[in-house]
Structure 1
Amino acid sequence: MTSFLLNQWRARPGGPQDPTPFMRSLGDASTTNRDKELIVKTFDDWEILTCTWFEVADYLSTIERLSEDKSFCERQRAALLASKVAYSLGDYPGALQLVLGADELFSLHARPAHAEYGPQDELYVNKIIEQAVDTYKQANRDGATIDARLQKLVDRIFDLNMEAKEYRYVVGLALDTRRLDQIERAVKASDEPANLLSETVSKVLGSQLDRAFRSRVLDVLLRLFSELAEPDFVSMCQCLIKLEKPGDVADILNRLVKNKDGELLAYQISFDLYENATQQFIQQIEKALALEATKPPSTPTPSAGAVTPTPPAEDEASSSTSTEDSPAGSLESSANTSGASSGSIPPDVLNALRRILRGEETIKHHMQFLIKNNHTDMLILKNIKDSVRMACTHNATVIANGLMHVGTTCDDFLRDNLEWISKATNWNKFNAVATLGLIHRGHEANALKLLDPYLPKGEADQFGYKEGGSLYAYGLIHANHGSDAAIDYLQKQLAGATTAAVRHGACLGLGVAALGSHSEPVYSQLREALYQDDAVVGEAAGTAMGLVMAASLDNNAFREMVQYISDTAHDKIQRGLRTGLSLLAYGRMEEVEPWVSELLEAKSSAILRQTAVCMLAMAYAGSGKADVVRRLLAKVAADPNQDVKRFAVIAVGFVLSK
C-alpha cells in the first residue's frame, strides 16, 4: 500500500509536493520497517528531494534516528538521505558526518544530470569530497584523531583517482593531506615516474608546506629517485639543498665527473648550486670534493646515507641501450663496466667544478651580459642632477645611479660629474663611494685597483667616510661571494680601523661578502665590534652578524643578540640587531615560532616585538601563508606601538611577495 501511495504521489500533476504524511510515518512506531525503507528509498532521489528538501528538513532528526537504528536495514540510506538534506541546508560539516554513516552507499561517481533539475548529484558529491578532504587535511595538520570512516572515505577518493590514472592529482592531494604513502603509490604506478617525480619536486619547493613535512616529502622523493634506472640528478640536488645535505651532493658530483658522459651534467648541477645554495653549503661541497681528489685510486664505495642511483638492469643489451639514451641515468652501470669511476677526480675537471661552484664562471658571464646590454638612460640622471638643490636629493641621485648601473661597470656618471659628486659630505660621501660597489659588482679581479683611491692607506682622515664607503663597496663587489682573500682583507681593515665610519663600512662589507657563510671567526669579530657599544659601529655590526649567519637559526647568536638589545641604550644598535635577528630566521618558517612567541611576550619592549614581526616577515617571505598574514594584521590592529604596526604592515608584503 505504501509503495502504491508513493507512486501516486510522485506522479501527481506539478510534481511531488507536501511530503509531510510520509515524513510523519518515519517517526510513527506503528509504521513497519518495510514501509519506512520504501519511504527512505523514494526520498533518496534528487528528483524528489529538489522539490521537497525544505519540508523534509523539518524531520531531519527523525531520519537521523533511523540512520542510528541498527535494526533498520536501510540505516545507511537514511544516513545518506539525512546528509543530502543537511547539504541542502548549507550545513556541510554536518552533511559530511552523516555521509560517513552511509559508508559504501555514498558513491563517488555522480549520477547523470537530470533533464529538469540539472547536475544536483554531481554538485553534492563534489561538495562532500571537498569537505572530506578539507576536514581530513585540518585534522592531520592539527595532529587530531581521525575518524576511521573519514580515513576510509579519503582512501576511496585516492583509489578513484588512481583508477582514472590521475597521478598528478593524486600527488597534489597527497601533499595537501600529508599522505606520503599515496605519493609513493602514484609515482610507482605512473608510466613516467621520472617526469612525475621532477614535477613533484618543483611543486614541493614552490609550495607552502611547513619545513618539517617538506623534509619528509623530499626524503621520500630522493629514495624514489634513487630507485629509478635513470635518475634526475638535477632534481635530486635541489632536494638535497633544501635538506641541507652537502655531502650527498658532493657524492653525486663525484660519481658524475668520474664518468665521461656525466661530466657536463655535473657542470650544470654546479651552476644550479651556485645560484640556489648558500656559501656555507657550497664550501662544504668543495671540501668533500677536495677530500675525494686526494684519495688513492680505488673502486669507490658509497658513503653512509649517501643518495646513489640504483643501477639499471644488468643484461648487456639493456645496459648499452641505456648508456646511449641517457648517459647520466646509466652512470653507475657504465662506470662499473668500463672502470671509469675508479680513482680520483681528474685535476682539470676538479678545477672546472671549483670555478663553477665558486661562481667565477657565472659572475663572468653575468658581467659580460650586463656590460653589453646596458641601456641606462643617462639623460634622466642628468636632468635629476641639474634639478638637485638639497643634500638629501643629492644622496638619492647618487644611489639611484648605483642601482641603475648594478654590475655594468659603467661609472661614467661619477667620472663626468666629479665636481658635483665632491659636494657630498659626511654619510653622503660614504654612500657615494659605496655605490662603486654596486656598479662594479662581480668585478672581483680588479676590485682593489678600482677602489684604490678611496681605500684606507696610512692614516685615515678625521672621520673616514670615504674609506668606510670604499670598504662597504669592496664587500658589495664580493656580495655573497667572499673569497678567503676578500674576507681576510676586510677583517684586517676592521681590526685596524681607527674611526667609527671605517669600522661601519668594514662591518657591512664583511656582512655582504660573507653572506650566509655561517663563518664563526667572522661572526666573532663582528660581535666584538658590537660590544664596543658605539652607536655607528654597533648598528652595522648587528646587521652584519645577521647577514653572516643568515638562515642559520643559530640559537647562540639569537641569545647574544637579544640580550644585547636589552643591554644597550643606543637606538641605532637596537635597530641593527633587529635586522640581524630577522635574517637569522630567513626561510625557516615554523621553526622560528618559539623565538617569535618569546619576543612577542616582551610587553615592555617595543623593539623586541618589532624584531618578532620582522622575523615572521623573513621566515615566511614569499610563502603566502594566510594564517601568518592574519597574525600580522592582528598586530597592526592591536599593538600599542606605532613602529610595531608599521613593521607588521611591511611584513605582510614580504609574506605575500610572490
Structure 2
Amino acid sequence: MTSVMSMSASPPAAVATASGYVALLQESDNTLRSHALKKLLECVDTLWHEVAESLPDLETIAEDLDLPQDMRQMAAAVASRVFFHLEEPSQALRLALEAGEAHFDLQHTSPYVQSLVRAAIDAYVVERLKVIDDEKDAKEEDIGISMEQLQAMVYRLLETCCKEGKYDHALGIALEAQETSKLREILISSGPSVEMLKYALNSSINVVSSKAFRQEALSVIAECLEQQIDIRKTASVDLIFVYQLLGKPEKVAEVLSKLVKGSDDDSLLGFQLCFDLSDSGDQAFVTRVAAALTKSDAQKKRWAQVDRVLTGGFSSELALSFLHKQSKADSLIMETLKKSLEERGSGGRSSILHNSAVLTHSYLYAGTTNDTFLRDHLDWMKKASNWAKFSATASLGVIHAGHITEAMHLLEPYLPSSPSDEGGSNVSPNGGYAEGGSLYALGLIHGSHSGSSAEKRKETAEFLRTHLRASHTNEVISHGAALGVGLTSMGSNELAAVNELKDLLDTDSAVSGEAAGIAIGMVLVGSGAGNVHNSLPANDKEEIMELVTELKNYARETQHEKIIRGISMGLALMQYGQEENADALIEDMRSDRDPILRYGAQYALALAYCGTGSNKAIRILLHTAVSDVSDDVRMAAVIGLAFVLFKTPERVPQLVKLLMESFNPHVRYASCIAVGIAMAGTGDSESVAMLEPMLDDMTDYVRQGALMGTAMIYMQQSDSSNGRKIRSFREKIASIVREKHQNTLTKMGAILSTGIIDCGGRNCSLGLGSRNGFTKMNSAVGLVLWLQHWHWYPMMHMFSLALTPTYTIGLNRDFKYPKKFEIVCNSKPSIFAYPKKLEEKKEEKKKRVETVALSTTAKEKARQARKRAKGGEGGAAMDVDKEEEKTESKDAVGDEKGEKMEVDKEEEEKKPKKKREPEPTTFRVGNPSRITIAQSQVCVFDLGQRYRPIRPEEKPLGVIILTDSTPGEAEDLGAVKAPSLEPEGECAPPEPFEWTPPDETAATDTKEPVKKEEK
C-alpha cells in the first residue's frame, strides 16, 4: 500500500519514445491528431530526432487551411522546433511565425526563442536593405517568409524592448534595419535620455555602414538634441558635432551664435568649439560657418575673438609659435648626415641622396621656421640642380609651414617677377626651377595648416593663379604654380580656379598636366561627382559632373602616363568622404584596362571610406592586393587599408601579416608603409617586431619601406620606450648612411627616416584624426600625395600636410596663456621625455707613451752624469742636474701618488655609495607644453587650481579654454607671438616711441616716432 501511494505521488515519467504520437498523425480523426500534436510539443526538445522523420506530415498539417487554426499552429510549432534542432533557423523561423504568438512568445529567454529572434532580425535587415536598394532577389520565396510577417515580428520585438526599458537593444535593431521612423519613436519614448542620445550618436558613426542612412539618423538625433539645448550645455557640444557631420554650416553657426551671445561661460564654451571646428582640418567648411554667423554689436570683443579663430589664422599662429619656441631639433643630426654623405664612397655625389638629405632637413624643422642650417651651408645646397633645385627651394615651404605673415618676404629672392611687367613670368637662365619651387613653397606655407588666415590664403591663391595663367610655356613654373593653387584653394570648390587648371591640362604637357590633375582634385576635394554635395549650387554640380566625365575621357586618350596618374589622383581626391556615393566611379576606374586608372581607384576607395572601417572597402582592397596583375595597383591597395582602418589601427598589422611574406616585393613594401601609417607614434612593440625582418629584405626598396615604417612608429617616443630598441634603431639608420656598400634606395630610406622620426622639432606626429573624432581632410590629402613620391620626388613635401603639432595650451578669454596652469601626468617623466640629443665627439690627440724606468737605473744615470760634469764637461752640468732633479722629484711624486691612490681607494671603499633615488610616478606639465596622444591618456586636470578647463571631461590635448575661479587677483600671463625673421641672437627693434629733448625750448609740437637702428 505504501509503495502504491509513493508511486502515485511521484511525477509522471518522461516519454521514452515519440513513435506512438508520430503514428497518430496519420489518423483521419482530428481529435487524435490534435492530442498527438500536444504531446509532441511536450517532448519534441528531447525526441526531435524521432519527430524529424515526420516533418513532411507536420508541414502538410500546418498548411492545410481546412483544418482548425489551433491544430495548424501546433503542427507549425512542432516542426519549427525540429528545424531549430536541425540547425536550420530560417525554416524554424518561417514555421514559428505561422505558429503565432501563443507558441512563440518573444518574452521567453530560451535558446529556441533567442535563436529565432536573431534569425528574424537578420532576415528582416536583409529584406529591408533590398527594399532600400530596389533589388530583386528570390530569397524571400525560398524561405517562404513575407516582408509583412518579418516586419510585424520585429516591430513587436521593438515594443517589447521599450516596455522593458531595453532602449539600447531597440536602438540597435532600428539602426541595423535602417528604420528612421522607429529610431525617432524609440528616442522620444526614452525621454530622450542623454545616455540614449550618446549611444545613438556613437552607433550611427561607428556601426552604420550606409552614409545615406547615417545622415538620416543624425538628423533625427539633431532634432532630439535641439529640444535639450536650453536644458544642458553639453547638448550644444553634441549638436555642433552632429551638424558638422551633416555638413550644415548654417546650423553650426546658429548654435555658435547663441553661445557667444550668452553668459561668460557660454561664450568660453563657444570659443572652445571654434577651436575644435578649426582642428577638424576642413578650412572651407569653417569659412562657410564664419560667413553664416549672425553677429551683434553688443559683444564686439567676443565676435573679434571668434573671427580670429575661424578665419584669422589664430590656430595656425598658435602651432607656429609653439613649434618655433619649443623646438627640440638636434642640430648635430644634419651635421652628421651631411658629413656622412660627403665621405668618399658614401653617396656624396648622388643627387637622390642629396635631395633626400634636403627633404630630411625640412622634416626635422617642419613648421619651426628655423632654416639656419641651409643658410650656413649654402655651398652644399647649391649642389642641387634642375628638379633637385626645385625641391630644395620648395623645402622652405615645409620649414616655414604656417608662417603666412612673412611668406612673401621670405621667398622674395626666388619668386618669379610679376607677369604684368613683361607679359609673362620672368624666368632665370637656369630654367626656372627655383622660381617654380618657390611657388610650390608658397602653397605649402598656406596649405599645411588648416587653421590659417582665410584672407591671406585667398590673396596668395590669386597671386599663384596669376602666375599659373602666364606660365604655360614653362612647365617647371606651371608645375609649381598648379600645386600652389591646389594647396591654397583646397576644398574651396572654386570653379574659376578649376577651369584655369584645366586650361593648363589641355596643353598636354606631361609635367604640367600631372600637377594640374592633382590640383583639380585638391580644389574639389570631397565634392564627389557633383551630385551629392549639399553646399554646391545646382549649376556647379552639373559643371563638376561634366568635368569628371571630361577628365576620365582625357585620361583614356592621352599618351602621357604622368597626366593619366595626375588625373586618376585628382579623381581620387574628389571622392574623399563620399563612401557609397563614390562606388560607381570607383567601379568604373577599377574595371579599366589602364593600370594607372586602377591604381587611382585604390586611393579613391581609401579616401572615400577613410576612417570608416568599412568591411566592403577592406574586402575589395584585399582582393585587389592579391589578384591584380599590376604591381603598383597591388601596392596601392595594401596601403589603402591603413586609411580605411586608421581609427582601429591595431587591425592593420593583423591584416597585412601574411602579405609581408608575399613573394611580390611591392606588396611587402606596401605592407611596411601601411603598418607605419596606422601605428604612427604608438611605439607598438609587436608592429616593430613585424617590420624587423623586413629591414634585412633582399630587395632594396622593401628595406626602404621598413625603415620609414619603423620611423613612423617610433615618432615622439622616448629613449626608454620599447625596451630601449629605439636607440639601436637610430644607430642603425645612421650606420646605413655611413656604409659604402649600401644600395642607394636603402640609404634614401635611412635618410628620410632620420627626418620622419624627429619631425617638427620632435613636436609633431603623423595623424589622420582630429581631437574630437573627425578625419582631418588636409592630413588625409597630404599623406596620399606624399605616397606619390614613389613616382615623383617633389611629392615628398606633402608630408607636412599630414603632420599634427602635439601641443597643449590653456588660454583665457583674452587668448593669453596663464603660466601657472598645470596638468597632472600620472606617469614617470622618462616615459614621455624628449630623446637625448647627440653629443659631439672630440678628437683625442695621441699621447706619447713614456717608458717606465726603475729607480735604481735613474740614480745610476745621475751618478754617471755627475762624474762627466766633474771631468770637465761644464756646459752639460746644468742640464744634467736639472734632469736629475726632475727624475728624483718624479720618483718622489710617483711614490706619493701611489700612496695616495691606495689611501683613496681604501677611503672610497669605506664610504657608502649613494643610492639612486627612484623616479617619481607622477609629474606636472606646464603651460604650454608638448603632450603626445599617448601621454594624454594618462593626463588629468587638477580642478583644484585657479584655472580650470571649460570642458573638464575632455582629454588635455590641443587648445583648452580656461575659466578663472578668482578673476580679481593678479595674473601671470603670456602672449602668443608668431616668430619673426630676425636672426637668432639679435634683438628686434623696439616699438615706436616719442622722445622729448632735455631743452624744452628745443621741443617741437610735431614729434616723429624714432626707431632704434639695427646693427
Considering the TM-score relative to the shorter chain, is it more than 0.5? yes
Is 1:357 aligned with 2:310? yes
Alignment match, 2:1012: none
- For residues 150 and 64 of structure 1, do their structure 2 counterparts lie closer, same or farther at Cα, with a shift above 3 Å needed? same
Aligned to 1:138: 126
| Residue type of the alignment partner of 1:570 | H
Q: 1:446 to 1:38 in 2, by over 3 A?
A: farther
1:552 to 523, 527, 538: 527
Superposed counterparts of 1:46-85, under 5 Å: 48-70=43-65, 71-72=67-68, 73-85=70-82
Q: What is the deviation of 1:213?
A: 1.4
In structure 2, relative to structure 1, the CA distance for the partners of 1:24 and 1:392 (3 Å cut) is farther
Q: 2:610 aligns with which of 605, 616, 621?
A: 621
- Is 1:470 matched up with 2:468? no
Q: After alignment, is 514-523 or 403-412 more displaced?
A: 403-412
Q: Secondary structure at the match of 1:445?
A: helix
Is 2:492 aligned against 1:539?
A: no
Matched residue SS, 2:405 = coil
Q: What residue is the counterpart of 1:509 in the other structure?
A: 484
> Relative to structure 2, which stretch is displaced further, 395-404 or 557-566?
395-404
In the alignment, structure 1 residue 33 sits paired with structure 2 residue 34: no
Shifted more, 563-572 versus 193-202: the winner is: 193-202
Q: Separation in 1 of the partners of 2:413 and 2:645?
A: 43
Q: Is the 8 Å Cα contact of residues 103 and 149 (structure 1) preserved in structure 2? A: no
CA change 1:379–1:649 in 2 (3 A) is same
Q: 1:102 pairs with 75, 92, 99, which one?
A: 99
Give the letter for the 1:395 counterpart.
Answer: N
Deviation at 1:583, TM superposition (A): 0.7
Alpha carbons 2:458, 2:488 under 8 Å: kept: no
Counterpart CA distance in 2 for 1:208 and 1:40 is: 44
Q: Which has the higher contact order (CA 8 A, sep 6+)?
A: 2
Answering whether residue 408 of structure 2 is matched by residue 448 of structure 1, we say: yes
CA-to-aligned-CA distance 1:373-430 (integer Å, 9 cap, x gap): 5444555555544444133233333333333443333445544554433333332332
Equivalent of 1:88 in 85, 88, 92:
85
The secondary structure found in structure 1 opposite 2:527 is coil
What residue is the counterpart of 1:523 in the other structure?
498
Q: Counterpart of 2:776?
A: none
Amino acid at match of 2:467: Q
Computed over aligned residues only, the root mean square deviation of the Cα atoms, in angstroms, reads 3.0
Alpha-carbon spacing, 1:601–1:379, altered in 2? closer, same or farther (3 Å): same
Equivalent positions of 1:140-289 (< 5 A) are 140-143=128-131, 147-191=147-191, 193-228=193-228, 229-230=230-231, 232-261=235-264, 262-276=266-280, 278-289=282-293
Specify the SS of the correspondent of 1:227: helix
TM-score with structure 2 setting the length: 0.53
CA distance in 2, matches of 1:222, 1:23: 58
Give 1:117's aligned residue.
none
In structure 2, the residue matched to 1:580 is 570
Cα offset for 1:642? 4.6
Q: State the 1:16 CA deviation.
A: 5.1
The answer to whether the 8 A contact 2:458-2:489 is kept is no
Instruction: Please state how far the C-alpha of 1:54 moved relative to its aligned partner.
Output: 2.9
Q: Which residue of 1 aligns with 2:901?
A: none
SS of residue in 2 equivalent to 1:90: coil
Q: For residues 507 and 88 of structure 1, do their structure 2 counterparts lie closer, same or farther at Cα, with a shift above 3 Å needed?
A: same
Report the counterpart of residue 438 of structure 1 in structure 2: 398
Name the CA shift for 1:470/1:17 in 2 (closer, same or farther; >3 Å).
Answer: farther
Give the deviation of 1:35 after TM superposition. Answer: 3.9
- Counterpart of 1:401 in structure 2 is 361
Q: Give the secondary-structure state (helix, strand or coil) at the position aligned to 2:404.
A: coil
Distance 1:149 1:496, change over 3 A: same
Q: Would the aligned equivalents of 1:16 and 1:51 in 2 still touch at CA under 8 Å?
A: no
Asked if the contact 2:516–2:566 (Cα under 8 Å) also holds between the matched residues in 1, the reply is yes
> Does the CA-based 8 Å contact 1:208-1:625 persist in structure 2?
no
Q: Which amino acid aligns with 2:469?
A: A
Q: Which of 73-82 and 213-222 deviates more? A: 73-82
Letter aligned with residue 397 of structure 1 = A
Q: CA deviation at 1:636?
A: 4.8
Pairs within 5 Å for 1:277-356: 278-289=282-293, 292-293=294-295, 344=297, 346-356=299-309
- Normalised to the residue count of structure 1, the TM-score between the two structures is 0.80
Aligned residues: 582
Change over 3 Å in CA distance of 1:411–1:75 after alignment to 2: farther
Q: 1 CA distance for matches of 2:125 and 2:324?
A: 51
Point out the structure with max Rg over C-alpha. Answer: 2
Match of 1:308 in 2: none
> 2:568 is matched by which residue type in structure 1?
R
Give per-residue Cα distances to partners, 1:117-153, cap 9 Å, x unaligned: xxxx33x322222221111112111116862221122
- Matches of 2:298 and 2:196 in 1, distance apart? 33
Q: Match for 2:113 among 105, 119, 125?
A: 125
Instruction: Report the 3-state secondary structure (helix = DSSP H, G, I; strand = E; otherwise coil) of the residue aligned with 1:475.
Output: helix
Q: Deviations over 1:50-82 (max 9, x none)?
A: 543333322222222233344242433432332
Give me the whole-angstrom Cα distance separating, in 2, the residues matched to 1:90 and 1:427.
67
The residue type equivalent to 2:613 in the other structure is G
> What secondary structure does 1:454 align onto?
coil
Query: 2:385 matched to which residue of 1?
Result: 425
Asked whether the 8 Å contact 1:208–1:623 carries over to 2, the reply is no
Q: Check whether the contact 2:21–2:40 (CA below 8 A) recurs between aligned residues.
A: no
CA change 1:129–1:518 in 2 (3 A) is same
**Unaligned ranges ≥5, structure 1:** 1-6, 112-120, 294-342
Q: State the alpha-carbon separation in 2 of the partners of residues 465 and 648 from structure 1.
A: 34
C-alpha distance 437-362 of structure 1, shift in aligned 2 (>3 A): same
Quote how far apart the aligned CAs of 1:42 are. 3.7
Kindly indicate whether the alpha-carbon contact (under 8 Å) linking 1:208 and 1:624 is maintained by their aligned counterparts in 2. Answer: no
**2:423 aligned residue:** none
Aligned equivalents of 2:337, 2:35: Cα separation in 1: 86
